[in-house]
Amino acid sequence: MVFLAYFFEALANVVDIGLTIYMWIVVIRAIISWVNPDPYNPIVVFLRRLTDPVLNSIRRRLPFALSQTGIDFSPLILLLGIIFLQKFLVKSLYELAYRLH
């Protein structure tokens, strides 16, 4: 059982680091979108390739009133979702690993 506990602890660490990196990618993408960057810049292409599928999915699900304000709330909603996953999923994995010790 100790082996399984270490596995869940390592999994929690990897998920936490991955979510943190993705959160910073979303923040950088939102900041870059304010300055109207060159769409062919390799960094911009990379950031859009990583974030657009999730952000477009959120935009499609936003109520009409929020989507017509001129402000894109999808990065904020995505960041809140990432924070929720960090607080719920990662902590649950750590708790599971602790109980298996």
Q: 3-state SS string over 5-72?
A: HHHHHHHHHHHHHHHHHHHHHHHHHHHHHCCCCCCCCHHHHHHHHHHHHHHHHHHHHCCHHHHCCCCC
pLDDT in tens, the chain (101 residues): 889 999 999 999 999 999 999 999 999 999 998 898 898 999 999 999 999 999 999 988 888 766 677 788 899 999 999 999 999 999 999 999 999 98
**Model confidence, pTM:** 0.88
pLDDT of residue 57: 95
Residues spanned by the domain of 79: 2-100
For the chain, the domain total comes to 1
**Residue 38 token pair:** 């060159």
Could you give the CA distance from residue 37 to residue 49 in angstroms, rounded to a whole number? Answer: 15
